[in-house]
Amino acid sequence: MFFKFTTAGESHGKALVAIVEGVPAGLEIDVDAIDHELWRRQQGYGRGGRMKIEKDAVDILSGVRHGKALGSPIALTIENKDFENWQDVMSVESLTAEPKNPRTVTRPRPGHADLAGGQKFATRDLRDILERSSARETAARVACGAIAKQLLAAFGVEIKSHVIKLGHIQATPLWRTWEEIAAIASDSPLRCADASAQSQMIELIDETKKAGDTLGGIFEVVARGVPVGLGAHTSWNEKLDGRIAQAMMSIHAVKAVEFGTAVANAAKPGSEVHDEIDWKDKGERIRDKGKARALSFRLYPFS
């Protein structure tokens, strides 16, 4: 079985849950590294209050023994620490009495699944929808992704990301080397490689919060060491760029995905865009000249 993950869990339910299948037996699994990714998810200047009160931590229930994958499904949970305050509102069992504060949601919010979900599942309490459509679900995906990262690392693949635009503030230059991206401190407020742009972004966040508004932006993800031939040209649904596009576009608020500089490339002739293929060194083997940036894509989220 290939690497595959399934997530479950409501935002204020007991826990988020995931099952990861297809992790090879014997792979070393570093639980702290998973928690580190959960911690990274909770950083970012201007994050809501919940990120501060709940420090997420993974609990692995199966599939790992003495630090190594067993080859069996890895089940994990991430506790919702605020659940104790939501026990009746989110109770699995039928309630015998109405909760004091039922927290029913009857007004659908723009830009969310509330309206469509409520109509689809015919519920008047939109909490039945928003508890699952909440971006908190991505915490489970981050944990699964952290395991995927450990699998990829065993093959020499590394993945980094950085913010290149927030609102109208753009980092200069946009494109950064791997080393520049790697040099961004993990507790950097916005993980932007341009310190001066980052200061302006922080100001913009403060102003926008004061005005009761929100901001969108762009971030870039870069991988290096990706082995030649990952994915397949043989069937439309095996193509790597298509699979990455689905995974990224399914993240809450992400509404555009671009590989490399595709949007700008669309305005240029092919001769300026395609990488040349050249001989490396003394003709040892052919390879891409590397004008392009390994495998990189940008995401355009809006929140």
Identify whether the C-beta of residue 89 lies closer than 8 Å to the C-beta of residue 37: no
The pattern of x and - marking residues 169 through 188 that bind a second copy according to CB under 8 A reads --------------------
Q: Cis link prior to 269 (omega < 30° from 0)?
A: no
Q: Establish if 70 lies at the interface with a second copy (CB under 8 A).
A: yes
CB of 222 to a second copy, least distance (A): 15
Comparing CA positions, the residue from 137, 135, 133, 110 lying closest to residue 123 is 133
Identify whether the C-beta of residue 248 lies closer than 8 Å to the C-beta of residue 297: yes
Strands 4-8 and 15-21, bridge-based pairing: antiparallel
Distance CA 140, CA 146 (A): 10
- Which of the stretches 35-43, 150-158, 177-185, 252-260 binds a second copy when contact is defined by CB under 8 A? 252-260
Comparing CA positions, the residue from 31, 18, 9, 26 lying closest to residue 74 is 18
Identify whether the C-beta of residue 27 lies closer than 8 Å to the C-beta of residue 68: yes
- Which of the stretches 40-48, 121-129, 176-184, 188-196 binds a second copy when contact is defined by CB under 8 A? 121-129
Looking only at residues 17 through 36 of this chain, which bind a second copy when binding is defined by CB under 8 A?
17, 19, 21, 25-26, 29, 31
Identify whether the C-beta of residue 41 lies closer than 8 Å to the C-beta of residue 136: no
Q: Establish if 214 lies at the interface with a second copy (CB under 8 A).
A: yes
Q: Candidates 84, 179, 213, 284: give the one binding a second copy (CB under 8 A).
A: 213
- Which of the stretches 2-10, 44-52, 151-159, 192-200 binds a second copy when contact is defined by CB under 8 A? 2-10
Q: Candidates 131, 142, 147, 152: give the one binding a second copy (CB under 8 A).
A: 131
Nearer to a second copy, 182 or 204 (CB): 204
Q: Establish if 116 lies at the interface with a second copy (CB under 8 A).
A: yes
